[in-house]
Amino acid sequence: MRHLAVLLVGLMTAAPLVAAEHEVAPGQGSLAKAVAGAAPGDVLRLVDGVYRGPVTIDRPLTVVGPRGAIVDGGNKGSVLTLTAPDITLSGFTVTGSGHVNQDLDAGVKIEQGADRAEVKALLVTGNMHGIDVHGGHDARVLGNEIVGTQNPHMNERGNGIYIWNSPGTLIEGNSIRYGRDGIFSNASSNSIYRGNLMRDLRFAVHFMYTRNTEVSRNVSVGNHLGFAIMFSDRAKILHNQSLGDREHGLMLNYANNADVTGNLVRGGTKKCLFIYNAHKNLIWENRFEGCGIGIHFTAGSERNVLTANTFMGNREQVKYVGTRHMEWSHEGRGNFWSDHPAYDLNGDGIADSFYRPNDLMDQILWSQPAAALLTGSPAVQLVRWSQQSFPATLPGGVRDSAPLMRPLTIPVTADAQSFEAEVQGRWAQGNIDDLDPANLTSH
C-alpha cells in the first residue's frame, strides 16, 4: 500500500498543469506584456480594438480573437514574430509591418525553431510580406485572407506567403490578392500547397530550388503567370486551374521529374504551357485552351511524356523549334487536338491519322518574323504543299501518332468563372497592373 501511495503522489506531481486563459485588453504594449506573463500552453484571448506591435511570441501559446482585434506593427519590422514551437494564431487581423523588402518585413514571421506553428483564419493586410515561414518546420497556414499592397511596382512588393527552408509546410485554403507572388517557395521541400485562391499577382505559385512538394487544387485568376516551377525537382502539380492569366498558365523552367496532371489552363493571352530545359516530366490529362500558343517547347527538353492532354482552340497549338523528332503519344495514346480533322473508322477513340502541328515554314516564321510578309505567297504555299505530299522532306519536330478523338473536360466553379469574367472585362478595357515581361523568369 505504501508503494502504491508513493506511485500515486508521483503521478500527480508529474501531471501537466491545465492551460490558463487570459483576456487581453487593447492598448499600447498590452499584448507584449500578456505574452511575457503567460505560461507555456496558455491561451491569450483578444477582443475588438487595436493592439500595438511589433510583438515577439517566444513561448508555446495560443492567441485568438475576432477580426475586430487588430494587431498593428506601426510600420516597423514584422508585426508578429514567432520564435518558439507550438504557437497558434487564430481569427484576428494583422497589419502594419515595415516595408523593407530585404529584411523580409511581414505580418507574421515564423522563424527557425518555431516548429509546428499554426496560423489560421487571420486577415493579414497592409504588410510587405503576408506570412513568412522562415525556417520553422511543419507549419500550418490555413484559411487566411491575405491582401497585399498595390504599390510600389509589382516586382518591388512582397509575397502573400513566403516559404524558405521550411520542410513539412501545409498551405491550405488561403485567399491571396495583390502583392508580388501569391506563394513563393524557395529552398524548401516536402510540403503541400492546396486549395488556395490567388488573384491579381505576378505569379500565383513560384518555386525556386524546391523539391518533393505538391501543388494541388489551387485556382489562379488574372495573374501575370499562374504556376512557375523553376529549378525544382519532383514537384506534383495536380488539378490546378489557371484562368485568364496574362503571360503563361504553367511554366516548367529547369524543372525535372514533375507530375503535371489534371490541370486546366484557359484564356491566357500568350502561352498555356511553357517548357524550357525541363526533363523527365509526366504531363498527363491536362486541358490547355484559348491561348496564343498551347505549348511552347524549347531548349533541349528531353524524356518528357505528354499524353491524354487536350489542346483546345489555341491560336497556335505547338511552338517547337528544333531538328529532333518528338513523339507525343505514350503506349498508343496521344492527345486531343481541336484543329486535327481526324476520323476513327474502328471506333476505338484513337484517330486513324497522325497529327503534326508544325512544318518548315512555321520554324522559318518563328526564327525570322519578317518572313510573315510572305505567308500568302505562292512560294510559301508550294513549300507547304511539298511537305504534305512528301513527308520525308519535313524537318524534325513534334508528331502525335495516336491523337484522341474526344476532348477532356474539367469543371470550373461558379465563383471562379465570376472572377475570370471580371478579369477579362478589366483587361478588355486596358485596366491591367504593371509588370516588365522581361522579369517573368527572374528569381
The SS3 call for residue 179 is: coil
Residue 432 has a pLDDT of 64
CA gap 228, 221 in Å, rounded: 14
| 3-class secondary structure, 97 | coil
* φ, ψ at 101 (rounded to 5°): -65, -40
C-alpha triplet 202, 206, 209: angle, nearest 5°: 145
Peptide bond preceding 152: is omega within 30 degrees of 0, i.e. cis?
yes
pLDDT at position 152: 78
In this prediction, residue 8 carries a pLDDT of 45
The Cα 433–Cα 423 span in angstroms is: 11
Spans in the chain with pLDDT lower than 70: 1-17, 299, 322-323, 359-396, 431-443
Residue that is written with C-alpha cell 499600447 in the block: 28
Task: Indicate the helix (H) or strand (E) that contains 6.
Answer: helix 2-14
DSSP string, 222-243: S-SEEEEEES-BS-EEES-EEE
Report how far residue 95's alpha carbon sits from residue 317's, in angstroms, rounded to the nearest whole number: 45
Q: Which of 423, 115, 132 is nearest to 269 (CA)?
A: 423
Position 357 scores a pLDDT of 83
State the burial class of residue 385 (Cβ atoms within 10 Å of its Cβ: 0-12, 13-18, 19+): exposed
Predicted confidence at residue 138, as pLDDT, reads 98
Summarised one tens digit per residue, pLDDT across range 64-87 is 999 999 999 999 999 999 999 999
For 46, residues 6+ apart whose C-beta sits below 8 A from its C-beta are: 24, 26, 31, 63, 64, 65, 66, 69, 71, 92
Rounded Cα distance between 434 and 42, Å, is 46
The pTM assigned to this predicted structure is 0.87
Q: How many CA atoms lie within 13 A of 286 on its CB side?
A: 28
Burial of 149 (0-12, 13-18, 19+ CB in 10 A): middle
Tell me how far apart the alpha carbons of residues 360 and 233 are, in angstroms, rounded to a whole number: 34
Q: How far apart are the first and last CA of the chain?
A: 70
Confidence (pLDDT) at 139: 98
pLDDT digit string (tens) for 391-441? 444 445 789 999 999 999 999 999 999 999 998 888 777 766 655 545 555
